[in-house]
Structure 1
Amino acid sequence: MRNSRGSIMRPDPLPLSASHPVVTPLSPSVVYASETPDALDDQYEGRVQGYTYSREGHPNADVVAKRLDAMEGMPGGVVTSSGMAAVSAVVLGLLSAGDHIIGANQLYGRSLRLMKDDLPRLGITTTLADPGDVQAVKRDIRPETKMILVEVVSNPTLCLADIKGLSLLCREKGILLVVDNTFTTPRGFKPFDHGADIVIHSITKLLAGHSDVMLGYAVARDPAINDQMRVFAITTGMTPSPFDCWLAERGMLSFELRFDRAQETAALLADHLAGLPGIKRVLYPLRDDHPDHALAADLLGVSGCNMVSFELEGGRAAANIFTREAEGLNFAPTLGDVGTTLSHPASSSHRALTTAERAALGLGEGFFRVSVGLEAPELLLSVFTNAVAAATS
């Protein structure tokens, strides 16, 4: 609609159509107009569904949230601007000064920094423990312990958390069990089926799958906790981009096909690497020689997922040669892409740790994490064979 001088007063309505779009429309509008103050009250007070300001919610975020809610089997999740925003919405949105949180000792690098540097600064005390040892975790519980944060499969050594044992412990002590399900995804593991209270995802990784999206997600079993996390995310501006949500929905449509293909290739790659000269060790949850093989079989069944870690002989010098010779593979600190990517924890995710601290975690200079993509398996095995030979000859 236009006034007599021709300036725009409000946008014209979209043309009516008897058909509907096959692809979800992108809705980049920051604000949404209401007809009257009473109509706005109806939205804010929940009598009608509607949008007001995109920081408080928008259609594309709701589409992604509902898809993930269905995948995890729990309604009411919140989509955030990144995976770490989701972690922060959970931890900072629910804990207060004086509370205590126990974290797994091999969390994602930035989650570790949050535990070590930022939470203590805000008066939240932290302890790191082995999530595969329930008794060790139990010894660290204090009267003020409110939360335990773990990953099903750790980054980057692929250790397993004893989710069943931890859930029983948390239920006994009245503590929230928070599970980061990014590595395993809902295709590989369902945390709520095993007693989790809150589940976190970095949608950026396997769920979106194309290295062109940055989003996170968190959902709780308790609707009141979902509301608390959502309000904190809105207040602190953890708003997801409509465009990123639109791209993520596209990626999620092919997620299960991508996950299954990458997982099959990862199992082949792990066995192949184990037979190559110059490889000190290979870590893959379904291999018999994995330290947590029995726990992996119990929790994951046949889903070994798409991550493989290994250690080269020769340290940093061999690592440099390996990445140069791994033709066609991106050396980049990410995972879940359609293409295989290589990550070197000592120079990326865990570079803030001392050499001794990395050594205690088993992260030498020759250690790599591989996120297996969708390449033809025979091509991928050939690339690794040649790169390992060049690096260790």
Structure 2
Amino acid sequence: MEITPKITPIYQTSVFKFADLNELEQYFDEPGSRYLYSRNGNPNADELAEKINHLEGGVGAVVTGSGMAAIFAAILAYCQAGDHVLCAADIYGGSSALLNAELSRMGITVAYVPFEQLYDLKPLVQPTTRLLLAETMSNPLLRVADLRRLATECHAHGLKLVVDNTFASPVITRPLELGADISLHSVTKYISGHSDVTAGAVVAADPEVAARLKQISVFYGLTLSPMESWLAVRGLKTLRLRMREHSYNALVVAQFLAEHPRVRQVNYPGLESHPQHALAVEQGAGLFGGMMSFLLADDAEGVNSFMRRSQRFPFAPSLAGVDSSLSYPLGTSHRSLTAEQQQALGITVGLVRLSVGIEPVEDLLADLAQALD
């Protein structure tokens, strides 16, 4: 009896069988024709990579065991010992920690670019500078990078543009279409969407880079497991629906917070008061995502009180699940920065980051109202 499942099964196996030496030679002579060992690739990971590659409009993608592994692979695709990297100063703390603590040990140096200087890189470019790492929407201040302009500036200096597109997702922005060389994701976040997967993805605009990413993934053992891949594919199927609901809810929440007397500032690109609102409209297909941050008084006990009172926004240092949550950049994602760096970026005691889920928005507003009041 022939079995033809509609959904790809979970290939929960570490190794695949060969009938004889001829099949082994076919594996090496015809790449992609067979599977050998799950570190080299498995059907579930390949399915996820192909779907994300299609969404981003790339020529090839790999999926990895985490978003951090994706950032690592993207940098190694272009860099070796002795090379220099530029990184947007306003970026996820884990990215800067990777560059500072680990890649520096491999002989890759880094300089940080203030947001205001992103489109004038010439003073920072060295003969060994290879790329700029930036985010579509920065974490945690939600500044929006003009990716087309940024790609033009990078390419004018012979640099590659690597974009972390996690906050936007390919539903909102497709960096490769705007000139980026690599778009990467923490699949853990919006692409999977249900807070039950840890994964990453890297999508390339150039076939040679895509092949290099595959090599890095295999040699460093970054490959994603079959089960995680299968769960992420399942989550990906509702990405468009979820992003619309995340964006709708977040805009309503941002408007509510912007009018609340205890809130000093709201950082959300969907608000007309946001400095890059017009760019976000143009670059984001009318959607702005579910991430925002806002400022309370710089009083730790006041922030603690808000966190304790909130029932619909549990303090969980991640983001982008269907259930809402909040995080505290000063104590989690940007903890490794110096006090001077935190202050320069505006990451202060009163800064709270919200990940707005897809629950009924009236419930979210009621919860925020009672927690703030």
**Equivalence for 2:4:** 20
Distance in 2, matches of 1:334 and 1:150, equals: 19
Between the aligned residues of both structures, percent identity stands at 38
Distance in 2, matches of 1:229 and 1:301, equals: 29
Question: What amino acid is aligned across from residue 362 of structure 2 in structure 1?
Answer: E
Question: What amino acid is aligned across from residue 308 of structure 2 in structure 1?
Answer: R
Q: Using a 3 Å threshold, how does the CA distance of structure 1 residues 334 and 260 change in structure 2: closer, same or farther?
A: same
Query: Is the contact between residue 134 and residue 162 of structure 1 (CA under 8 Å) also seen in structure 2?
Result: no
Residue from 162, 172, 178 that aligns with 2:162: 178
Q: Does 1:189 align with 2:190?
A: no
Distance in 2, matches of 1:303 and 1:133, equals: 26
SS in 2 for 1:330: coil
Query: Is the contact between residue 132 and residue 162 of structure 1 (CA under 8 Å) also seen in structure 2?
Result: no
Q: Using a 3 Å threshold, how does the CA distance of structure 1 residues 314 and 197 change in structure 2: closer, same or farther?
A: closer
**Equivalence for 1:55:** 39
Q: Does 1:88 align with 2:72?
A: yes
Distance in 2, matches of 1:135 and 1:87, equals: 22
CA drift of 1:190 comes to 0.9
SS in 1 for 2:133: strand
Residues 149-198 of structure 1, C-alpha deviations (whole Å, 9 max, x = no match) = 11011000001122122111222222111111100000000111110111
Query: Is the contact between residue 295 and residue 350 of structure 2 (CA under 8 Å) also seen in structure 1?
Result: yes
Q: Does 1:386 align with 2:373?
A: no
Question: What amino acid is aligned across from residue 316 of structure 2 in structure 1?
Answer: A
Question: What amino acid is aligned across from residue 171 of structure 1 in structure 2?
Answer: H
SS in 2 for 1:309: strand
SS in 1 for 2:208: helix
Matches for 1:200-215 after TM superposition, within 5 Å? 200-215=184-199
Residues 67-123 of structure 1, C-alpha deviations (whole Å, 9 max, x = no match) = 111101113200111111111111124311111110110221110111222222221
**Equivalence for 1:112:** 96
Residues 259-303 of structure 1, C-alpha deviations (whole Å, 9 max, x = no match) = 110110000000000111111100111212213223323322422
Distance in 1, matches of 2:32 and 2:353, equals: 48
Select the structure with the greater relative contact order (CA < 8 A; seq sep ≥ 6): 2
Q: Does 1:128 align with 2:151?
A: no
Q: Does 1:328 align with 2:312?
A: yes
Between stretches 92-101 and 50-59, larger displacement belongs to 92-101
**Equivalence for 1:253:** 237
Unpaired stretches in structure 1, ≥5 consecutive residues: 1-15
Residue from 61, 67, 75 that aligns with 1:77: 61
**Equivalence for 1:10:** none
CA drift of 1:125 comes to 1.4
Residue from 257, 274, 288 that aligns with 1:304: 288
Aligned residues between the structures:
373
Q: If you compute each CA radius of gyration, which structure gives the higher value, 1 or 2?
A: 1
Question: What amino acid is aligned across from residue 311 of structure 1 in structure 2?
Answer: L
Question: What amino acid is aligned across from residue 177 of structure 1 in structure 2?
Answer: L
Distance in 2, matches of 1:117 and 1:238, equals: 19
TM-score normalised over the length of structure 2: 0.96
Q: Using a 3 Å threshold, how does the CA distance of structure 1 residues 59 and 291 change in structure 2: closer, same or farther?
A: same
CA drift of 1:330 comes to 1.7
